[in-house]
Amino acid sequence: MTTTRQILAFLSLFLFAGNALADDETPVINPTATYTSVDGEVTESAEMSGQAPLKGYFQANASNVGDYTATYEWRFTREGSAEPYLTRYEENTEYTFTKAGSHSIVLYATFTKGNDVIQYGQEYWSEQQPLRVTISESKLEMPNAFSPNGDGINDIYKAKDGYQSLTEFHAYIFNRWGQKLYEWTNPADGWDGKYKGKDVAQGVYYVLVKAKGADGKTYNIKRDVNLLRGYTEGTNTGGGTAR
C-alpha cells in the first residue's frame, strides 16, 4: 500500500531529476584561447605572455545550445582602458596582437528561445577571470662584425639574439661607395657576405635598419659592419668578436 510519505518522496525525486535535466540543457560557454608565436609555436592558455606579432584564436566552446538562438560579442580591452578597442561578433574569432602591453578578452553571449533568455555578460565576468595577453616591449640590436668563413659560427650578419616585438623590419647592406649589396625584411634572416652569389672582400661595410616595435618605438640604426673572413674562434684579427 502506497503511503503519503512515499508519494511525496517520489514527487521530490521527480522534481529533482527534472531540475537536473533542465540544468544540463542550459546553454553554457567556456571561452578558450590558442596562440601562435612568431616562431610558429602553438600554446593554449588563459594567460599568455609573448612578443608581437602574436596571433590568437578564440573559441566560445558553447554547449547545450539546442534550439536556442545564440549571439556572441568578443571584447578586447587594453589595461587601463574602460572601453574595448575591438569588438567581434562571431562565435570564434582570430586577432593578431601588435601593440605592447596587457590585453583582456571577454566573451558576452546571449541565448534566446521564445521568452527564455540566458545571458553571459558583465555580471558573469564579474565572477570570472578574463583571458589575458601581455605583449612585451620591443628590442633590437645589430652587431658590428661577423665572420662568413664557413665554420658555422657567426657566418650570417643579422640582428642579435633577443630581438622581440618588432612589427616592421627592413635592413640594407651597403659598400663604402654607397652601393646596395643586400636587403632583408625578416629579423631572423641576414646577409651571408655575398653579392650576386660571390664572396665580397674582407673589409668594412655599412648597415641601415629601419624598424618599428609593438610599443611604438622606431629604430633607425646606422653602423659599420666589419666583415672578417680570417676570423675564427681562438684567433684575433684585431677586429674583435661581433658586438
194-229, pLDDT tens digit by residue? 999 999 999 999 999 999 999 999 999 999 999 998
- Element housing 11 (H / E): helix 4-24
Residue whose C-alpha is closest to residue 207's, from 229, 188, 226, 230:
226
| Complete domains list, the chain, with CATH | 26-135 (2.60.40.10), 145-227 (2.60.40)
CA distance 76 to 132: 10
Looking at residue 24, its pLDDT comes to 57
- Asked whether the predicted pLDDT for residue 74 surpasses 80, the reply is yes
CA distance 226 to 172: 15
- Element housing 102 (H / E): strand 101-113
Q: What is the mean pLDDT of residues 157-181?
A: 96
166-174 β-sheet, strand order? 145-146, 218-227, 203-213, 166-174, 180-184
130 neighbors 108 (Cβ within 8 angstroms): no
CA distance 235 to 243: 16
Of the pLDDT bands very low, low, confident and very high (cuts 50, 70, 90), residue 38 is confident
Looking at residue 232, its pLDDT comes to 62
The residue written with cell numbers 658586438 in the block is 243
Q: What is the mean pLDDT of residues 165-192?
A: 97
Half-sphere exposure at residue 143, Cβ-oriented, CA atoms within 13 angstroms: 23
Residue whose C-alpha is closest to residue 52's, from 135, 134, 140, 131:
135
Q: Model-level pTM?
A: 0.74
